[in-house]
Amino acid sequence: MLTNIFKFRRKTFISNFFNFIFFIFILCIKFLQISSLNSENQENSIEKSINPDAKAIVDVIKKFYIDNDIEFDLIVYGKSSHHINDLINVIGENEIPTTLIQVLDINNWHHLINNSAVIFVESFENFLTLQNKSVNEGFLLNGGPQKLKFLIYIEEINDFKELKKVISEFAMPTFFYPADLRYFEYFLIEDKNFVNLSANVIYTEGKCENFQPKLLNSFDKHLLKWVKELEDFDPYDNFHGCMVNFIVSLDDITIYIENNLEVGYDKFSTDEQELYEILANENVKFGGLIPELLKIMTASKNFTIHYTVISSNQSKFEFLGMNNFLPNYLGTFSFMPSDPDYKTEIDHFSLPFRTEDNYYLISYTDTYTNFEKMLFPFDLTTWLLILFTFGLTFGTILGLKFSSEWVETLIIGRGIQSPAYNALGIFFGISQLKLPKEIFCRAILIIYIWFCLMIRIYWQSMMFEFMTTDMRKPMPESIEDLYEMNFTIMESMMDHLSFIGEHISKGRKKEYVVVSSGEFKYFYGKALEEDLLKKYVFLVSFEVHHKLNQTFKSSLLRLKNEKVTYMTRLALTRNNILLHSMNHFMDKLIPAGIACQLMDYASWHDYRLISEEIDDPRKILSMSDLEFGFILWIIACCFSFFVFIYELHALYLRRQFRILLGLFEFLRVVRERLKDYHDRW
């Protein structure tokens, strides 16, 4: 009996040892799952917010430039320079050899010779002085306008009125001089945990459900003939019934008179009630593209037009509010009603007043091969987990070949031939003709069959979609990507060769294909179709101005987000402004022949616009997508383990019970024999 108990304990120790290894494997699964989820939440982009505790220009420089490995030049403009030492220390600690620091005063501001620079001014007075000098004396930096970033340090802002004054004095005058300060960005910083960063955001999403930000600017009156020829034109069908608000300012109601090529402007004296009557009067004609579109929008009965009148004693900044955007507003317009005999125009402004950026025009049509798609259903972490599972399975089978027969019987079962082949066959769905008799062995086999079935179903279901989808490879997102993918860089003669050079690592050299603006016309011929599959990238600078109280013809039409917009043979990469410009509105304009005319007025470049819808890559299954299946697997493993423990203890208790029964039976037999012996005597 002692020998049997010893053998049983030895058997229990070995089984518990394998169970311990099994649970370590489960813990590794959960660790890999958590690691994959954490890695997905990491972002490799520049943060759009700043630490509220940042109280000096040093923190801004470090936050937005040094920490993100952005090369920059710093020009400190002002009488005092108490931050210079801190800046030099921070730059020195981070070893940025390309950074140049210049300290300028009021009199030598014109010595700004860098192609790209950050100018730090310590007060708005210094900024306004610099601005006035640039306007009066000419702001030609190294032969042309430069891309400048102004960092203005505000020591204290007491109330909202002062902040509005700062914005109006600082931001507004800048946009009246596009030839002098056309490349301009700014940060507002102060010491009371308030930071207002300028951004190239037109509108935020409003309260109305499914509302998309939209901005429509006025164009030349000659486009009206194109609009009138449109049939069944509904450019705003994605407003989904949202109310569209048009802002009408009493201060800007003007009559536009054109007679014998003489143009004059007369103030239209009226009050709020009279203005509403004018807007409601069907006999009053409104010229321009905007009124024509208003008529079409109203006729579509898809949403409501609402006019909001700003009174004479209410400024536009008070109406707009602190954030400088109008949620649920299509735009802010100054209507100029007139007599039917007169021609009319529309003055329009929208926030922000200027948008500019560099864009990459790319032709790129590479797609994934079928062999590459075979790896798409799972991410790298999941594939490694699957390989680890099968490696552990076949490793265990190999180890059992060198172990005792008792251990092999415990794990695999009696009479099982070719366990490695069986494990491989289970993965491909081959049924098993002979099953082990032990419950523990059957539990392990059931878990393994279920795991293989789960992986096989996930992979097969996703592969059908991937194999039947023409999936495009991702667009390059940086200059380095363009070089790695062997793109030919082409740009106009006056564009940003220096911009490309700033984004190339040291030691990297490549020939630039520089073409003049006239040579771009070559691409309007049949060569477009022939060169469609070639890899070219055009670096072009676009700029849009939206001004207060001024008509600006060269405005950009910005409507709904698009992934990729093709311009003839060229496609815009992601994450830039023009990608968010063309939507269903342009799709309706293209068949009508208005697209070419529209884009000629909308930008400085004579590109024709066509659009192509590109499907996004399918979702790749990650550990978070398989979480439910792995949780069930863990529950099944735990259940089988407890069943195994219960079975062992039940066997042990049965043996002990039999021993007790045998003891009682022995005592009973002894008692009966003693009784018989006593009766005989």
Average pLDDT of span 423-450: 75
Check residue 628 and give its pLDDT. 63
For residues 47 and 70, give the distance between their C-alpha atoms in angstroms, rounded to a whole number.
Answer: 13
Do 152 and 170 form a contact (C-beta atoms < 8 A)? yes
Average pLDDT of span 500-513: 39
Sheet of 244-249, strand order: 305-310, 244-249, 329-334, 347-349
Give the pLDDT confidence of 518-562 residue by residue, as tens digits: 333 222 223 333 333 344 444 333 332 222 222 222 222 222 222
Q: Is residue 223 part of a domain?
A: no
Q: Which two tokens stand for residue 604?
A: 């400085």
Instruction: Name the CA radius of gyration of the chain, rounded.
Output: 38
Do 582 and 644 lie in a common domain?
no
Do 9 and 31 lie in a common domain?
yes
| pLDDT > 70? residue 1 | no
For residues 106 and 127, give the distance between their C-alpha atoms in angstroms, rounded to a whole number.
Answer: 10
Boundary (domain end) residue, out of 544, 570, 602: 602
For residues 227 and 430, give the distance between their C-alpha atoms in angstroms, rounded to a whole number.
Answer: 66
Do 22 and 62 lie in a common domain?
no
HEC profile of 325-392: CCCCEEEEEECCCECCCCCCCCEEECCCCEEEEEEEEEECCCECCHHHHCCCCECHHHHHHHHHHHHH
The parent domain of residue 498 ranges over 360-367+472-602
Measure the CA angle with vertex 373, ends 372 and 379; round to 5°: 95
Give the pLDDT confidence of 215-255 residue by residue, as tens digits: 333 233 333 343 444 333 333 333 334 444 444 443 333 32
HEC profile of 480-542: HHHHHCCCEEEEECCCCHHHHHHCCCCCCCCCCEEECCHHHHHHHCCHHHHCCCCCEEEEEEE
Do 338 and 346 form a contact (C-beta atoms < 8 A)? no
Q: Is residue 660 part of a domain?
A: no
Q: Band of the pLDDT at 480, cuts 50, 70, 90? A: low
| pLDDT > 80? residue 456 | yes
Q: Band of the pLDDT at 33, cuts 50, 70, 90? A: low
| pLDDT > 80? residue 178 | no
| pLDDT > 50? residue 487 | yes
Check residue 105 and give its pLDDT. 60
For residues 561 and 581, give the distance between their C-alpha atoms in angstroms, rounded to a whole number.
Answer: 7
3-state helix, strand, coil in the chain (%, to 5): 45, 15, 40
Average pLDDT of span 377-406: 79
Q: Which of 279-283, 468-472, 674-678 has the highest mean pLDDT?
A: 674-678
- Mean pLDDT in the chain? 50
| pLDDT > 70? residue 663 | yes
Q: Band of the pLDDT at 311, cuts 50, 70, 90? A: very low
Check residue 328 and give its pLDDT. 29
Q: Is residue 203 part of a domain?
A: no
| pLDDT > 50? residue 581 | no
Do 332 and 268 lie in a common domain?
yes
Check residue 502 and give its pLDDT. 38
Check residue 642 and give its pLDDT. 76
Query: Regarding predicted confidence, which is higher, 655 or 219?
Result: 655
Nearest 5°: phi and psi at 671?
Answer: -65, -40
**258 has which bridge partners?**
263
Measure the CA angle with vertex 483, ends 478 and 486; round to 5°: 130
| pLDDT > 50? residue 286 | no
Check residue 374 and give its pLDDT. 77
Total domains present in the chain: 4
Do 44 and 72 lie in a common domain?
no
Check residue 400 and give its pLDDT. 73
Check residue 523 and give its pLDDT. 29
Q: Is residue 399 part of a domain?
A: yes
| pLDDT > 60? residue 435 | yes
Nearest to 326 by CA among 239, 244, 429, 228: 244
Do 453 and 534 lie in a common domain?
no
Q: Residue 545, SS3? A: strand
Average pLDDT of span 372-401: 80
For residues 501 and 496, give the distance between their C-alpha atoms in angstroms, rounded to a whole number.
Answer: 9
Q: Is residue 387 part of a domain?
A: yes
Please report, to the nearest 10 degrees, the dihedral formed by the alpha carbons of residues 229, 231, 232, 237 taken in order. -40
Give the pLDDT confidence of 330-372 residue by residue, as tens digits: 333 333 333 333 333 322 222 222 223 333 444 445 677 767 7
Query: Regarding predicted confidence, which is higher, 317 or 295?
Result: 295
For residues 350 and 203, give the distance between their C-alpha atoms in angstroms, rounded to a whole number.
Answer: 9
Q: Which amino acid is present at 546?
A: H
Query: Regarding predicted confidence, which is higher, 334 or 121?
Result: 121
Give the pLDDT confidence of 179-197 residue by residue, as tens digits: 222 233 444 433 332 222 2
Check residue 387 and give its pLDDT. 85
Sign of CA dihedral 254, 260, 261, 262: negative
End-to-end CA distance of the chain: 37
Q: Band of the pLDDT at 30, cuts 50, 70, 90? A: low
Sign of CA dihedral 70, 75, 79, 85: positive
Query: Regarding predicted confidence, which is higher, 334 or 449?
Result: 449
Average pLDDT of span 103-131: 60
Do 579 and 635 lie in a common domain?
no
CB atoms closer than 10 angstroms to residue 642: 10
Do 399 and 512 lie in a common domain?
no
Q: Is residue 598 part of a domain?
A: yes
| pLDDT > 50? residue 318 | no
Do 280 and 340 lie in a common domain?
yes
For residues 117 and 74, give the distance between their C-alpha atoms in angstroms, rounded to a whole number.
Answer: 6
Q: Band of the pLDDT at 383, cuts 50, 70, 90? A: confident
Check residue 667 and give its pLDDT. 82
CA distances from 239 to 232, 236, 631 (A): 17, 6, 43
| pLDDT > 60? residue 208 | no
Q: Is residue 220 part of a domain?
A: no
Measure the CA angle with vertex 318, ends 168 and 293; round to 5°: 95
| pLDDT > 80? residue 452 | yes
Lowest mean pLDDT among 34-38, 81-85, 203-207, 287-291: 203-207
For residues 560 and 205, give the distance between their C-alpha atoms in angstroms, rounded to a whole number.
Answer: 11
Check residue 137 and give its pLDDT. 53
How would DSSP label each residue in 383-447? HHHHHHHHHHHHHHHHHHHTS-HHHHHHHT-TT---HHHHHHHHHTTPPPS---SSHHHHHHHHH
Do 321 and 446 lie in a common domain?
no
Q: Which two tokens stand for residue 118?
A: 């950050």
Lowest mean pLDDT among 161-165, 176-180, 643-647: 176-180
Q: Band of the pLDDT at 461, cuts 50, 70, 90? A: confident
Q: Band of the pLDDT at 136, cuts 50, 70, 90? A: low
Burial grade of 163 (CB within 10 A; 0-12, 13-18, 19 or more): middle
Do 335 and 374 lie in a common domain?
no
Measure the CA angle with vertex 154, ends 149 and 157; round to 5°: 135
Average pLDDT of span 597-612: 31
Check residue 402 and give its pLDDT. 73
Q: Which two tokens stand for residue 447?
A: 């878990």
Place of tokens 């039917």: 340
Give the pLDDT confidence of 40-61 residue by residue, as tens digits: 333 322 233 333 333 456 666 6
For residues 556 and 578, give the distance between their C-alpha atoms in angstroms, rounded to a whole number.
Answer: 9
Query: Regarding predicted confidence, which is higher, 645 or 163?
Result: 645
CA distances from 358 to 183, 342, 538, 541, 627 (A): 11, 41, 10, 5, 42
Measure the CA angle with vertex 70, ends 68 and 76; round to 5°: 115
Report the share of the chain in percent with pLDDT over 90. Answer: 0
Do 397 and 436 lie in a common domain?
yes
Q: Is residue 435 part of a domain?
A: yes
| pLDDT > 80? residue 669 | yes
For residues 635 and 629, give the distance between their C-alpha atoms in angstroms, rounded to a whole number.
Answer: 10
